[in-house]
Amino acid sequence: MAHLFKTMSGAAMLTALLAFPALAVDPGMPGKTNKGDALVDSKGMTLYTFTKDETGKSACVAQCATNWPPLKASEQAKPMGSWTVVAREDGSKQWAYKGKPLYTWAKDTKAGEAGGDGMGGMWHIAKP
């Protein structure tokens, strides 16, 4: 579908994105990091899972969510395949992969870094 958007004018693209709001936010994709294969966000930033999370529920709130920003999902985001949407404590939505909520690490500064892997024995690269 991305190839279709490349050929559209700005107005046509906006119309398409409004017609299909779930496509406006990419939940993640397979990518490469300095520690191997991982799921990454649309900017190539490594995605992580947190061992304290329950399936479909985030335990990372307050300061934790500042250090480990949740992979935000739009209000219109819909589950697709292994990707689901988790309602957060504050009412926002977050993407999850195979039931595990996904996060980035605030100290990763460029695509492909995976500095949060193994942090505190509780944070792990999300594997495709």
Whether the pLDDT of residue 115 is over 60: the answer is yes
Which pLDDT does position 26 carry in this prediction?
63
Task: Report pLDDT digits (tens) over 21-61.
Answer: 443 346 788 999 999 999 999 999 999 999 999 999 999 99
On the 0-12 / 13-18 / 19+ scale of CB atoms within 10 A, 42 is exposed
* Residues paired with 39 in a beta bridge: 30
Rounded to two decimals, what is the model's pTM? 0.79
Structure tokens at 29: 């994709």
Query: Is the torsion defined by CA of 115, 102, 122, 98 positive or negative?
Result: negative
Which pLDDT does position 24 carry in this prediction?
38
Q: For residue 97, give the nearest of 68, 118, 70 by alpha carbon.
A: 70
Is residue 117 within 8 Å of residue 48, measured between CB atoms?
A: yes
Task: Report pLDDT digits (tens) over 58-109.
Answer: 999 999 999 999 999 999 999 999 999 999 999 999 999 999 999 999 999 9
d(CA 98, CA 11): 35
Q: For residue 114, give the nearest of 122, 106, 125 by alpha carbon.
A: 125
